[in-house]
Amino acid sequence: MEQWLAHIAPFLSDNAIFTPSTLAQYWQGLVRTVQLVFISLVIGLCLAVPMALGRASGRAWLNAPIWLFTYVFRGTPLLIQLYVAYYGFAFIDGIQDTRLAFFINDPVYPALLAFTLNTAAYTAEIFVGAIRATSRGELEAARAYGMSPITAYRRIVLPSAFRRALPAYGNEVIFMLHASAIASAVTITDLTGAAYYVYARFYSPFPAFIFVAVVYMLLSFALQGGFKLLEARMLRHLKPG
């Protein structure tokens, strides 16, 4: 450990990353990153639950379009999806004269669209797998109590599926945090964009990017810890004794 610190000490000795202006830039980048990830995850989760129900329904007319959506967004790179959202809409004739002009004037909105649809596709597949893993005994017990299919889904299937999907969904949240680093590719000043700013201003890449890497790592550890606590609370009934 001491040898490793001795190797990176020269890179971190530059005070450029600790000036008030750069720290303010990093803080703004952190806030923007958290906003992008949080909003896209919330909206994506709201979209994923009904899509997962549609995929699990077995009705071809409902299943096929949702399958195609998830196949496309899980089968293509998120960076390409971001570029399509950012550059593609600008080529729609007359969009500048509509109420959607804000969408192409601010890169945050295309980034939110790309991130939301991408995480919705992955989360839907996570949840549909958890729904299909619901034991037949739970459904039979719900019928025995006289529950309607909607009530059974609301009180039995979805809570049970959410508990099973929680570990995989926690990984998806951390993946989205890391993937949000590509937002700087469309001129958004997130954490990575702040590192590029410091690099361009002080010609000092190592302190800037190492500092940002540490911030991402701390955020990831915090998320992992939060999901571990949530898993322990929601799955405590499965522990022996």
Domain at 153, CATH number: 1.10.3720.10
Any domain includes 231: yes
Contacts of 142 (CB under 8 A, 6+ apart): 151, 152, 155, 156
Write the single-letter amino acid at 2: E
pLDDT score of 7: 52
Contact 81, 73 (CB under 8 A): yes
Mean pLDDT, residues 217-230: 93
Among the residues of 133-185, which ranges form H helices? 136-144, 149-152, 158-179
Nearest to 180 by CA among 108, 85, 72: 108
What is the rounded CA–CA span in Å between residue 112 and residue 85?
9
Query: pLDDT value at position 5?
Result: 41
Inter-CA distances, 124 with 56, 67, 70, 205, Å: 10, 10, 8, 38
What is the structure's pLDDT at 164? 87
Joined together, the tokens standing for residue 141 give 């017990």
When mean pLDDT is compared across 64-73, 81-90, 166-175, 228-237, the lowest value belongs to 228-237
pLDDT number for residue 220: 96
Of residues 233 and 211, more confidence is placed in 211
Q: Report the number of distinct structural domains present in the chain.
A: 1
pTM (predicted TM-score): 0.86
Percentage of the chain lying above the pLDDT 90 cut = 45
The pLDDT confidence band at residue 8, using thresholds 50, 70 and 90, is very low
Element (H, E) at 228: helix 205-234
**Residue numbers of the domain that contains 212:** 2-236
pLDDT tens track for 129-141 = 888 887 777 777 7
Pairwise CA distance, residues 81 & 85, whole Å: 6
226 in any annotated domain: yes
Between residues 89 and 66, the one the model is more confident about: 66
List, for residues 12-71, the tens digit of each pLDDT value: 444 556 678 888 889 999 999 999 999 999 999 999 999 998 888 878 888 899 999 999
Backbone phi and psi for residue 77, each to the nearest 5 degrees, phi listed first:
-65, 145
For residue 241, tell me if it sits in a domain.
no
Which pLDDT does position 213 carry in this prediction?
93
Domain assignment present for residue 218? The answer is yes
Please give the C-alpha separations between residue 54 and each of 15, 60, 135, in angstroms, as whole numbers. 54, 9, 19
C-beta of residue 127 within 8 angstroms of C-beta of residue 45: no
What pLDDT is attached to residue 19? Answer: 78
Q: Which residue has the higher pLDDT, 91 or 229?
A: 229
Please report whether residue 194 resides in a domain. yes
Residue position matching structure tokens 């989205």? 176
Average pLDDT over residues 203-220: 89
- Does a structural domain hold residue 36? yes
pLDDT tens for 149-185 read 777 777 888 888 888 899 999 999 999 999 999 999 9
